[in-house]
């Protein structure tokens, strides 16, 4: 059985990075620049769209150090736990120590990759 996509999300200094994997392939890399007053449904709608595109629920893994940011965007509940909908499930994961690796192009996705290396599959 083919699993749905896994989205790894991190934030740092207002920059949101999204790395989406399907099986062993990276299908999306995005770096969302700092914003002023983001729409509260922007990230949940993106996750819903990915679930519809791939016709499978998305497993979203977010950095637990940014719980306040994710809560403001509707990805964390009042108890700092992840939310679950028909289209996606959000899991809070503690960040692991970054390695000295750099991805060229959109900047470093090391924090998202570290979530992946911590056992997200």
Which residues in 21-37 are b (16+ Cβ under 10 Å) and which e? bbeeeeeeeeebeeeee
100-114: average pLDDT: 64
What CATH number belongs to 6-117?
3.30.420
pLDDT digits (tens, 9 = 90+) for 4-36: 999 998 877 777 889 999 988 999 999 887 766
Distance between CA atoms of 44 and 48, rounded to whole angstroms?
Answer: 6
pLDDT digits (tens, 9 = 90+) for 47-63: 999 999 999 999 998 87
53-78: average pLDDT: 79
**What was the pLDDT predicted at 50?**
94
* CA 70, 71, 75, 79 torsion-angle sign: positive
Q: Where are the domains of the chain?
A: 6-117
Enter the pTM of the model. Answer: 0.71
């Amino acid at each position: 059985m083919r699993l749905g996509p896994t989205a790894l999300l991190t934030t740092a200094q207002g920059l949101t990075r999204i790395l989406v994997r399907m099986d062993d392939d990276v299908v999306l890399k995005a770096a969302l620049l700092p914003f002023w007053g983001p729409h509260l449904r922007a990230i949940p709608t993106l996750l819903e769209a990915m679930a519809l595109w791939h016709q499978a629920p998305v497993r979203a893994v977010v950095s637990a150090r940014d719980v306040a940011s994710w809560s403001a965007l509707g990805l964390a509940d009042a108890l700092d736990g992840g939310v679950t909908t028909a289209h996606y499930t959000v899991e809070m994961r503690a960040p692991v120590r970054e390695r000295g690796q750099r991805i060229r192009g959109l900047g470093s996705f090391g924090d998202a990759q570290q979530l992946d290396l911590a056992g997200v599959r």
